[in-house]
Amino acid sequence: MKTPFDYVLEEFDVKVSTSWTKAQIKEKIETDDTWLYRGLLAIYKLQTKDEQQSGFTTKSNGVGFNGVDSEICSSFAQQLESRKTLSPKQTAIARKIMKKYCGQLEKIANKKIKIGSVRTRIIKKVLALLSK
C-alpha cells in the first residue's frame, strides 16, 4: 500500500530506489524546469491551507516556504497549478529562490520528511486526487 509520501514522490518524479543529495537536487533545480516546477509545488503542498490561501507563512514548522518567499512562491505555485508553466522571468526568479529549499526537497525525495499535521493534509490531498 502506498503512503501519502509515495504520491508526493511520484509527483516529484523520484524513484523510490534512488537516493538523492542536496547537490543533485540543486543541479536539477538549476537546469531542469520540470524539476523546478515540481519542487516548487512539492514545497507549496507542505504549506498549511491558510498559508496557501493567504500567501503568507503563519506557522514556524520547519516546512514549506519561509516568510520572505511565501507570497511570491505561493503565487508561482498557484499559477503552475492552473497554467502548468511560468514565464521566463518568473522561472528565473523561482530558480534562484528554490535553491534554498533543496534540503526540504532532499527529505521529500528520500522519504525522510516527518510532520504530523502535514501528513494529515497530504492524505486528504492524495484522496482528493485519487477521487478525480
pLDDT at 37: 95
Low-confidence ranges of the chain (pLDDT < 70): 1-18, 51-61, 112-132
- Name all contacts of 114-117 with Cβ < 8 Å and 24+ positions apart: 115/46, 115/61, 115/62, 115/63, 117/48, 117/61
Per-residue model confidence (pLDDT) at position 47: 80
* Number of structural domains the chain divides into: 1
Q: For residue 77, what pLDDT is reported?
A: 93
- The pLDDT, as a whole number, for residue 60 is 66
- Whether the model pTM is above 0.75: no
The sign of the dihedral angle between the CA atoms of 64, 70, 76, 78 is positive
Q: What is the DSSP letter of 131?
A: T
What is the total residue count of the chain?
132
pLDDT of residue 116: 43
Range(s) of the domain holding residue 52: 4-130
